[in-house]
A and B are shown apart, each in its own frame.
Chain A
Amino acid sequence: MTKNTLLYAVLVAATVAAPFLFPSYTAFLATLWLFIIVALTWDMTGGQMGYNSLGNIFFYGTGMYTGAVIAIGLYFPVGEWTDASRSEVFSVTASQYYTGMIIGIPGAGLFCGLCAFIIGPLFFGLRGPYFAIGTLGLAIAAGEIVSNIEWLGGGQGISMPHSPLHPDFEKVLIYFLYAGLGVVLFGFLRWFYSTRFGAAINAIRDDEEKAEAMGIHTLRYKTITWAISAVFVGMAGAISAFQLIHFEPLETAYQTINLGIFMVVCVLLGGKGTLWGPVIGAVLFHVFKEVTWNYILGGQWVALGLLIVIIVVFFQDGLMGYLKHVRPGWFGIKVDTKGATS
């Protein structure tokens, strides 16, 4: 146990020190934390509960818009703010900006959780591929509809209030928001998966009919799990809104093929249904992406598609699954060599 405590202490120290040690990589590290957050939340339903969603990006985009609407709407009329032809300039004071941030980020999380709570009972009747396609449809539909709502800026998107901070400090602030959310999420999941609730959602993954027969109210468990993951994705989305300053619906907010599929790739790369798998996968994928993206100019997305196909076809258990296979002892799995037949 002490070994683990030491490991976590070192990691937290590294997290805190990283933006000061490598100031030019702060934005990179912030995005890394975003990847870790979305991968961990995807794994809650995808890996631990067996419901593979392709549309968790819906909560990211909704969080982004909710955060923006709260931050702006607290002091200004949103419709006038987003009006493309407006001539008057709104000036935002520092205290207004921070109030917007402090209320906007948790507000976005709560709103996304509420959304998941409402749509959960609709979607959780869909199983397997239908669930994946249905959630993908949800994300695409939401993006298309939002891009037609003039009140939210339409296809132009929303410009966030300008930060009163110097850009360098702003980056560090965003980094710590992401990192704080990520650490809280990781700690929460570590506890969450060890509870009876975690055991119940694992039972749903293994065999939903049997789980129901054992007296687990499956719909309630599924909806609550999805809502919790939505809260975190929504908060991450709201932080992204403050980070990006300007965002538009189809390419940034409801980016179905970028982040929406990255989170699945991260989890598959690291290993589904494990605590550390999504984290490791997110780090690997993000570093791989940042290193190679510039060299294959124009072909990045082709490479991404190829990567998805290769991971899914040849390496689906991910790194953790591979390690589990090679070194079962590390995971506390005892292999009975005598009983094993060749």
Chain B
Amino acid sequence: MDQILFNIGLLIEYPMVNLKIVIDGVMIGALFALAAYGLALVWGVMNVKNLAQGDFVIAGGYTSWFLVKTGWLQSIGISSNIVALIGVPVAFGVMAAIGWVIYKLIITRVIERDLFTSLLATFGLAIMMAQIMNLLFGSDTQSLKLDYETLYFADGLIDVPIAKLIGVCMAAGLALAVILFMKNSRMGQAIRATSQDSRAARVMGIDTEKVYAFTFSLNAAICGAAGAIIVMVWLIQPFYGITYSVRAFVVVTAAGLGNLPGVIAAGLGIGAAEQYGGHIFGIGYQQAIAVTLLLIVLFFRLLQQRRKRQALN
């Protein structure tokens, strides 16, 4: 308790610390927002609540990590820093392929069933993916330690590694690309039409099965790219996946489906909230805070619905 009070006192005494926490939180929050956007996409289009979302993120991270660690590209004279950046599109591609396979094997069979079926099937998938990654890469936490410089502001109180800045810029670029794709391309229009009314879309000649497969694959690819960015600066571990899934759920539940600005704001907000919580309660509570935020958001939404005499479903 004294420790908590001391930490809060620190925040008040040095206002710059607040700024540092917010900057850190917003940076990681950008990646939460990416994963959450993928979840909202799948949720909205095919009404599948994907609990393996976080494991896609981690799998993407390991793809990029593996690319750097094997050193194939370094052997032809590309520096590790560049390889890590190449890892992002590679993870995007690899996870798109994995997502497509998963769709064809599992998801296509549970779309028409009740929601618990898809939830439990993706939970099984999440366990399976985490364990396969554990077998392949071991259970240690991994991170690519890139030798980018770190920028310092305000007498060294605020440190911003350039790698983080690059990561956030890539996340923003990816988000922008996906949004433009959804707005302008033929496939993007088909996806939006399917999410509005799949039956009507089918009547209008849209191959919804193809749209579903593409959406799921795109979701996995977005998550994979987010993971590849995460591994550049932050840590990944085979069993961190469930926390990322939970965060994606928090963001989507808080923002609601099809509310893109809301998803981004909630993603950044949960990043900052987690950093604040980690600072105040100690780093050991970070996972607990992510999950507790889920409960808080759920109950908050519940109260909103109750005022309208409806249940959250």
Give the interface of A toward B (CB within 8 A): 52, 54, 122, 125-130, 132-134, 137-138, 140-141, 144-145, 147-148, 208, 256-257, 261, 264, 268, 298-299, 301-302, 304-309, 312-314, 316
Query: Are the C-beta atoms of B311 and A301 separated by less than 8 Å?
Result: no
In this complex, how many residues of chain B approach chain A with their Cβ under 8 Å: the count is 46
24 residue pairs A–B, Cβ–Cβ below 8 Å: A126-B311, A127-B311, A128-B115, A129-B49, A129-B313, A130-B253, A133-B49, A133-B51, A137-B292, A141-B288, A147-B284, A148-B285, A264-B120, A301-B128, A301-B134, A304-B131, A305-B124, A305-B125, A305-B129, A307-B124, A308-B121, A308-B127, A313-B110, A316-B113
Q: Nearest 5 A-B pairs (CB), nearest first?
A: A305-B128, A308-B124, A127-B313, A144-B288, A305-B127
Of A138, A140, A145, the residue contacting B242 (CB under 8 A) is A140
> B288 to A148, Cβ gap below 8 A?
yes
Q: Which residues of B contact A54 (CB under 8 A)?
A: 123
Residues from chain B with a CB closer than 8 A to the CB of A306 are 124, 128
CB distance from B107 to the nearest CB of A (A): 10
Interfacial residues, chain B to chain A (CB-CB below 8 A): 49, 51, 106, 109-110, 113-117, 119-121, 123-132, 134-135, 242, 246, 249, 253, 282, 284-285, 287-288, 291-292, 294-295, 298-299, 302, 305-306, 311-313
A126 touches B124 (CB 8 A): no
**Supplied contacts A128-B115, A129-B119, 13 more A-B pairs, CB within 8 Å:** A125-B302, A128-B313, A133-B119, A133-B298, A140-B287, A141-B295, A144-B291, A208-B311, A299-B135, A301-B128, A308-B121, A312-B121, A313-B106
For the complex, give the distance between the alpha carbons of A122 and B312 in Å: 12
Cβ B135 vs Cβ A298 within 8 A: yes
Give the complex CA separation of A108 and B5 in angstroms.
Answer: 33
Residues of B within 8 A of A148 (CB): 282, 284-285, 288
**In the complex, which residues of chain A have a beta carbon less than 8 angstroms from the beta carbon of B113?**
316
Residues of B near A132 (CB, < 8 A) are: 116, 119-120
Interface contact B132-A302, CB-CB below 8 Å: yes
Query: Which residues of A sit under 8 angstroms from B291, Cβ to Cβ?
Result: 137, 140-141, 144
Considering the complex, give the chain A residue whose CB is closest to the CB of B253.
A130
Residues of A within 8 Å of B124, CB to CB, are 261, 304-309, 312
- State A150–B299 Cα separation when bound (angstroms): 28
Given A52-B116, A302-B128, also A141-B292 (CB < 8 A): yes
Question: What is the bound-complex CA distance between A333 and B185, given in angstroms?
Answer: 54
A145 to B121, CA, bound (A): 28
Chain A hits for B292, CB < 8 A: 137, 141, 145
Q: Given A302-B131, A306-B128, check contact A312 B312 (CB 8 Å).
A: no
The CA-CA distance from A304 to B125 in the complex, in Å, is 10
Please give me the residue from chain A that is nearest to B102 by CB atom: A309
Among A126, A129, A256, A264, point to the contact of B115 (Cβ < 8 A).
A129
State the CA gap A70–B246 with chains docked (Å): 33
Q: Write the chain B residue with the least CB distance to A122.
A: B299
A252 CB, nearest partner CB in chain B, Å: 16
Closest chain-B Cβ to A72's Cβ sits at a distance in Å of 23
Which residues of the partner chain B approach A137 to less than 8 Å between Cβ atoms? 246, 291-292, 294-295, 298
Chain A residues lying within 8 Å of B126, measured Cβ to Cβ, are 305
Chain B residues whose C-beta falls within 8 Å of the C-beta of A144 in the assembled complex: 285, 287-288, 291
Per the bound structure, the CA–CA distance linking A147 and B306 in Å amounts to: 34
Closest B residue, CB atoms, query A145: B288
- Chain A min CB distance to B52 (Å): 10
A190 to B93 CA separation, bound complex (whole angstroms) = 54
Q: Which residues of A contact B299 (CB under 8 A)?
A: 122
Most buried by A among B116, B117, B242: B116
B123 and A140 within 8 A (CB) = no
Residues from chain B with Cβ under 8 Å of A133 in the complex: 49, 51, 119, 249, 294, 298
Known: A133-B249, A309-B125. A126 touches B302 (CB 8 A): yes
Whether A308 contacts B120 by the Cβ 8 Å rule is yes
Taking CB atoms, residues of chain A closer than 8 Å to B114 are: 128
What separation, in Å, do the CA atoms of A301 and B242 have in the docked complex?
Answer: 15
Given contacts A133-B119, A134-B295, A308-B124, contact A145 B285 (CB under 8 A): yes
Q: CA–CA, A133 to B305, complex, Å?
A: 17
C-alpha spacing A144/B288, complex, angstroms: 5
Q: How far is the CB of A342 from chain B (nearest CB, A)?
A: 24
Q: Which residue of chain A has its CB nearest to the CB of B107?
A: A313
A residues less than 8 Å from B302 (CB atoms): 122, 125-126
Contact yes or no, A125 B120, CB < 8 A:
no
Taken together as a complex, chains A and B put the C-alpha atoms of A137 and B294 apart, in Å, by 7
